[in-house]
């Protein structure tokens, strides 16, 4: 591998681009140097970045036409890195939500790979188009710069056939209509972290709950994913900020046949108007719901925790028991109230919460007599992407 100074990690959404820069030292160790995002793209763009000690490197607002889309945001970020910090990344790693049946590991990106990934846009319309936009922009502006796609579906691609299939004709499965699972980069990071922070359970039966605006759970056995709550798309499983989670397909038929909604309208409804937002009628943000006195907010949070507990039972069945439960992502890492409510619903498994440890955001939040260990572990998808990008280029 040629000498490499830094790896840029990009995670692009519809109105924001998050990126982190990792420096590579002589011992092939990755060190986070810059954490940044450009938000409000096309409306009220704001570029913020901080260094490893959280010092502010930039906090700048722009007129909407200046950063009207994701490619413009990427060019602004690239110019800032080159001109103000004299940094020209040696490679770029991207989070790509859907790799379909074709990709079970990170891949170098070229025009052919990009074209294949475009086929999965309908399966992740909220994410995939925006994940691919910066890839296309960099290919156009810097065709010689190595880029790597890292997939949220890849970690789950070794599921058993029983876990992978729907009860539909086999020809549809062969076409790619199957259960993929998502948040794989997060789960992969947690699986790699467990031997370091919880070696006593790392090889056991573990449920990891990635609870954020997007939410799912994964069953790990020996550090390998054997089951996940998400399926063909990122709509299934747990209720999320604006997505419903598990839903009877008959509801879709009802919306189309009885409400006269088009397929496009149903898609927009399911991705943007359901979940915590739709159920509460207040907000998709757990922080807003926790601070609200509206009884609908309390019901929505109770419903969320109920579903987590209910679906945890399904994953326990897949694992044949449970040794540990891990909370991660925005809600899981930061809401002691939600963690306590979920832990209470795991009591039938022998989970006992240590209230003081939970309030203190400790690593292990279960009591000494708990038969199921409870942990709070911060995820780091960006570091996982940087590692994959380095490893692939090294090979």
| Most distant CA pair in the chain, distance | 64
Distances (CA, A) of 88 to 35, 79, 142, 358: 16, 9, 11, 42
Distance CA 120, CA 126 (A): 11
Q: Which of 159, 148, 38, 28 is nearest to 96 (CA)?
A: 148
**Known catalytic residue: 104?**
no
The 3 state secondary structure assigned to 315-361 is HHHHHCCCCEEEEEHHHHHHCHHHHHHHHHHCHHHCCCECHHHHHCC
How many CA within 13 A on the CB side of residue 179?
22
Strands 46-50, 56-61: pairing is antiparallel
Spatial CB neighbours of 10, under 8 Å, sequence gap ≥ 6: 17, 18, 19, 74, 92, 93, 94, 95, 134
Per the residue annotation, which of 63, 152, 236, 302 is the catalytic one?
Answer: 152
Cα of 381 vs its chain's centroid, Å: 8
Distances (CA, A) of 268 to 38, 66, 244, 254, 378: 24, 28, 12, 16, 31
Strands 373-376, 215-221: pairing is unpaired
Environment class of 4 (CB within 10 Å of its CB; exposed 0-12, middle 13-18, buried 19+): middle
Q: Which of 39, 366, 381 is nearest to 210 (CA)?
A: 381
Please compute Rg for the chain using Cα positions.
Answer: 21
| b/e per residue 160-178 (b: at least 16 CB within 10 A) | eeebbeeeeeeeebeeebb
| b/e per residue 242-280 (b: at least 16 CB within 10 A) | bbbbeeeeeebeebeeeeebeeeebbebbbeebbbbbbb
* β-bridge mates for residue 94, sequence order: 10, 149
Q: How many CB atoms are located within 10 Å of the residue 202 CB?
A: 19
Catalytic residues: 152
């Amino acid at each position: 591998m040629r000498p490499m100074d830094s790896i840029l990690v990009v995670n692009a959404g519809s109105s924001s681009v998050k990126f982190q820069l990792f420096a590579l030292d002589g011992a092939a160790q990755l060190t986070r140097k810059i954490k940044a995002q450009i938000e409000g793209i096309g409306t009220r763009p704001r570029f913020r970045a901080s260094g490893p000690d959280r010092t502010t490197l930039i906090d700048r607002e722009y007129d909407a036409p200046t950063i009207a889309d994701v490619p413009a945001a990427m060019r602004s970020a690239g110019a800032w890195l080159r001109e103000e910090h004299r940094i020209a990344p040696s490679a770029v790693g991207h989070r790509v939500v859907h790799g379909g049946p074709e990709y079970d590991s990170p891949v170098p990106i070229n025009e052919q790979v990009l074209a294949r990934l475009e086929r999965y846009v309908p399966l992740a319309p909220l994410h995939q188009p925006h994940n691919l936009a910066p890839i296309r922009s960099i290919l156009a502006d810097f065709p010689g710069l190595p880029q790597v796609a890292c997939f949220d579906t890849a970690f789950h691609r070794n599921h058993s056939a029983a876990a992978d299939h729907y009860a539909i004709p086999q020809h549809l499965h062969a076409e790619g209509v199957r259960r993929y699972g998502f948040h794989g980069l997060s789960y992969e990071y947690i699986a790699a972290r467990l031997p370091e922070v919880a070696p006593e359970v790392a090889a056991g039966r573990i449920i990891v709950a990635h609870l954020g605006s997007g939410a799912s759970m994964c069953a790990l056995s020996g550090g390998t994913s054997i089951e996940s709550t998400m399926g063909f798309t990122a709509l299934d499983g747990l209720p999320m900020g604006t997505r419903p989670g598990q839903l009877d397909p008959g509801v879709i038929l009802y919306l189309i046949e009885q409400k006269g909604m088009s397929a496009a309208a149903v898609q927009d409804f399911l991705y943007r108007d359901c979940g915590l937002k739709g159920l509460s009628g207040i907000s998709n943000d757990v922080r807003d719901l926790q601070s609200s006195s509206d009884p609908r907010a309390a019901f929505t949070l109770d419903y969320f925790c109920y579903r987590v507990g209910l679906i945890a039972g399904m994953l326990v069945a897949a694992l044949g028991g449970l040794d540990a439960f891990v909370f991660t992502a925005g809600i899981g890492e930061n809401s002691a109230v939600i963690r306590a409510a979920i832990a209470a619903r795991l009591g039938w498994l022998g989970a006992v919460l240590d209230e003081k440890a939970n309030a203190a955001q400790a690593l292990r939040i279960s009591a000494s007599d708990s038969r199921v260990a409870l942990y709070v572990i911060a995820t780091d998808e960006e570091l996982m992407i940087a590692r994959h990008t380095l490893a692939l280029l090294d090979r």
